[in-house]
Amino acid sequence: MSIYYTKEHEWLRIEGDEVVVGITQHAADELGELVFVEGKDAGTDVAQGDSVAVVESVKAASDIYAPVGGTVTSFNDALSDDPSLINREPEAGGWIVRMKMADRSQLDGLLDAAAYAALLA
C-alpha cells in the first residue's frame, strides 16, 4: 500500500485500482473539531487540484483538493453522521472520497512520508 501527500495536507492511498483521499493529522489538528463534511457525488470527474470535498469546523470551512485527477467513486457516508471521525482517524476511518485515478504519472508530483515530514518541520 502506497501513501502520498500534498503540500496542502491531503493524503492519497492506493488501494487496487482506486485511490482513497483524506486529510492529514496535521490538517485535522489545524482545523479543529469538524462539524460538517460534504464530498462530490460518485461519477463526478475532477482534475488534479479540483475540490473534491468541503470540511467545516468550528473555526473555518476548507476545500479538500484532489491530489490526482480522476472520477469520484464514493464518499465516506460515515462522515455525514460523524464528521469528527476525521479528527480521530484522519488517515484511516476518516477518509473522505475514493476515486479512479485518470493519470498515474500525477503521483510523481506528490510527496512521500519523509518529504511530507520535512515540510512540517
59-95 residue pLDDT tens:
889 999 999 999 999 999 999 999 999 999 999 999 9
Q: Using alpha carbons, list the distances in angstroms from residue 33 to 12, 19, 50, 86, 106.
A: 22, 25, 24, 9, 31
Q: Residue 114 is which amino acid?
A: A
Neighbouring CB atoms inside 10 A of 104's CB total: 10
* Per-residue pLDDT tens over the stretch 11-62: 999 998 899 999 999 999 999 999 999 999 999 999 999 999 999 998 889 9
Domain of residue 23 covers: 3-104+112-120
Number of structural domains the chain divides into: 1
Could you tell me which of 86, 102, 90 has the C-alpha nearest to residue 49? 102
The pLDDT of residue 17 is 85
H/E stretch holding 68 reads: none
Q: What is the CATH number of the domain that holds 25?
A: 2.40.50.100
| Percentage of residues in the chain having pLDDT higher than 90 | 94
| pLDDT of 1 higher than 80 | no
Cα 71 to Cα 52: distance, rounded to the nearest angstrom:
10
Distinct helix (H) and strand (E) counts, the chain? 4, 9
Indicate the DSSP class of residue 41.
P
* pTM (two decimals): 0.93
